[in-house]
Amino acid sequence: MKLALIGQPNCGKSTIFNQLAGYKSISANFPGATVSYTLGKFYFQNKTIELVDLPGTYSLSWYDDAEKESVKALSSMDFDCIINVLDASTITRGLELTLELISLNKPMVVALNMMDEAKKKGIDINIAKLEDSIGVKVVPVIAKQAKGIKDLINAALKASPPIKKCIYSKRIESLIQNLEQCLESQAGSLILPPKLIAIKAIEGFSACEEIVSWYPKCQNLLEATRVLLNNGVEVTKERHALCLEIFEYSAKVKDSQGLPLSEKIDEILLHPILGYVSLFLIFIAIFFIVFEGGSPFESLIDKFFSFTEDYFSKNIHNAFLLSVTKGAVDGIGAAIGIALPYLVPFFVILSVLEDSGYLSRIAFLMDSLMHKIGVHGTSVIPFIMGYGCSVPAVMATRIIKDRREKFISAFLATLVPCAARTTVIMGLVAFFIGPIYAILLYLLNLIVIGIAGIVLKKFLPGINPEILFDIPPYRTPTIKTTIVKTWYRIKDFVYVAIPLLVGGSIVLALIDYFNFAKYVNFVFMPFMELLGLPFSIGIVLIFGIFKKELTLLMLAQALGLSSIAMVSKVLTVEQIFVFTIFVMFYIPCLATIATLYREIRLKGTIIITLSSVLVATILAFITHLLFLIV
């Protein structure tokens, strides 16, 4: 049994998915949070059921890569039932997709989600009437609270194709049918049902027009039809009118009293002046929460691990064994002691930002500024995700339609210091020199991103696309989702990064033991000389390519120190700055490079990788020079 979840962006598909198949699909409160489909399995009444969470799409004509993924999956995978998720609070718009799905003529059910929000808006939907007007079984659910999910699956298992097949007026329906029959007779097999291709081609969706153009006879028919239907607008208008009609027939709207709460919040957060002040304050607050939440733990845990190491030094007498054990303890200590204390508060905040609906509002506020660097407001989403991890950030560029803009966004998103690099900034600059200098580094980073954007905009000519998306309502993030989401992100760190760190630490200890490091460091000597860094940390930068945290965690070891807390005794303030700035920009980690390759192909990936090394070197060198002058 294979079920698909499909619906418009931000209607709660991933929330339903996660309720059924465990937390696998990152849900968030902005359109386009899911950019590729997620597969899950669950057991229901002793049956194994496969569930596919598809990226949200407004209609079956795709606009960006994420939507294309949905339509492709919908037509290529053989689903036993389509679960169409509808946001009850914006039902008129959502019905447009429902009507298109009906023309696929496959078993389907409608999951009417966010019934609670609709009620708050004063919308009261009569389920029986809605079912009657669309000819599809409708199950009301509140996905966030897991209400109605069982009924939904029960209905999906028994689902049948829609009862009503004709949804347009007789005149339009017959014109569609003519084209459909033409396609059926001319074409062997098509990637989409011929009826859908016919409708979409008449409406002027280029991908479907192209398919029709392969068959000259149908192409002539299409042209004639489009003339008859005012370039296809009549189809769109009629479908929209039908949606309104269904809404009026099946729903009652009560006047809500006064200004809704979200409007009041928007009065401040989207205000021409107060909006930017709030944005600034929110970012400063986030910074301090992450730093203040992290640093006490860092010193505490560091003490514990120094103590453990002392214990081992006294009790293990075999030099080889000692260096390996020390390597392992260093690795674990560094991972738990330095990275986790900063990562946990950061991921909690990121999750709240995503689920509250504020991200899209930042996009609105920042749009005109973003235009100056060759992208538009929507790119704020990959940028902010970039502070978490570059991998989802690069993936989030899928919601950007324009190729050039997607490249610029991916490029700039990789320059944003991810959580791993944040641990380096926090653990070195904020910890040893002062939090205010760490803030300055973040500002420097923003300036560099700005300049990089302006340069890219200049060298990659093209039309600047405009912002266009729907703003989600404010929603209160649930504690459960926040915890689960934070864990989901930390899990990667625990399962992937910690073994890598421990392994890396041991390898480094071995390299040290066999005196091998000097060869590696020898190669980097001229480079380190240029930046005024100690030669012994050349090897650290190599490890950093695997995982950025490694650069901090292995620094102490490479310098021959027993703990990170002693770094300031060996490195000067200048060297800490130079090192941190270099690490902040140089080469994306392997996982990011792999993701870049998937999203923007080889050439773009090479350009981004090489330029980042160049940018890092230039900035680190300038910092070195500045210190020489001062």
Nearer to another protein, 134 or 362 (CB): 362
6 sits near another protein (criterion: CB under 8 A): no
363 sits near another protein (criterion: CB under 8 A): yes
- The SS3 assignment for 111 reads strand
Distance CA 325, CA 143 (A): 49
Of the candidate spans 53-61, 388-396, 407-415, 601-609, the one that interacts with another protein by CB under 8 A turns out to be: 53-61
Among 245, 248, 310, 466, binds another protein (CB under 8 A): 466
Burial of 273 (0-12, 13-18, 19+ CB in 10 A): exposed
Nearer to another protein, 118 or 541 (CB): 118
Among 59, 113, 397, 521, binds another protein (CB under 8 A): 59
The answer for residues whose C-beta is within 8 angstroms of residue 466's C-beta and 6 or more apart is: 376
Dihedral over Cα of 540, 543, 544, 548: its sign: negative
Count of residues that interact with another protein, criterion CB under 8 A: 37
Task: Look up residue 351 and give its two tokens.
Answer: 């999750």
Nearer to another protein, 19 or 98 (CB): 98
132 sits near another protein (criterion: CB under 8 A): no
Nearer to another protein, 50 or 367 (CB): 367
DSSP 199-245: HHHHHT-HHHHHHHHTSHHHHHHHHHHHHHTGGGHHHHHHHHHHHHH
DSSP 79-103: -SEEEEEEEGGGHHHHHHHHHHHHT
Among 191, 285, 369, 447, binds another protein (CB under 8 A): 369
Burial of 210 (0-12, 13-18, 19+ CB in 10 A): exposed
| Site track 149-188 with another protein (rule: CB under 8 A), x = hit | ----------------------------------------
Nearer to another protein, 14 or 90 (CB): 90
| Site track 96-115 with another protein (rule: CB under 8 A), x = hit | x-------------------
Among the listed residues 18, 252, 292, the one whose alpha carbon sits nearest the alpha carbon of residue 149: 18
- The SS3 assignment for 189 reads coil
Distance CA 41, CA 582 (A): 44
Distance CA 87, CA 85 (A): 7
| Site track 514-553 with another protein (rule: CB under 8 A), x = hit | ----------------------------------------
- For another protein, the binding residues in 262-301 under the rule CB under 8 A are 266, 270, 272
Among 468, 496, 622, 625, binds another protein (CB under 8 A): 468
Helix 517-531 vs helix 498-513: crossing angle, to nearest 10: 100
Strand order in the sheet with 2-7: 38-44, 47-53, 2-7, 81-87, 108-113, 137-140
Among 27, 38, 89, 445, binds another protein (CB under 8 A): 89
Among 360, 422, 505, 595, binds another protein (CB under 8 A): 360
| Site track 190-219 with another protein (rule: CB under 8 A), x = hit | --------------xx--------------
Distance CA 116, CA 121 (A): 9
Among the listed residues 578, 545, 571, the one whose alpha carbon sits nearest the alpha carbon of residue 556: 571
252 sits near another protein (criterion: CB under 8 A): no
Radius of gyration, CA atoms only, the chain = 28
93 sits near another protein (criterion: CB under 8 A): yes
Of the candidate spans 41-49, 59-67, 435-443, 444-452, the one that interacts with another protein by CB under 8 A turns out to be: 59-67
- Note the maximum CA span of the chain: 92
Nearer to another protein, 161 or 204 (CB): 204
* Minimum distance of another protein from residue 204's CB (angstroms): 8
Nearer to another protein, 299 or 368 (CB): 368
19 sits near another protein (criterion: CB under 8 A): no
* Minimum distance of another protein from residue 185's CB (angstroms): 28
Residue ranges that bind another protein, judged by CB under 8 A: 58-59, 61, 63, 89-90, 92-93, 96, 121, 123, 204-205, 233, 236-237, 240-241, 266, 270, 272, 360, 363-365, 367-369, 376-377, 465-471
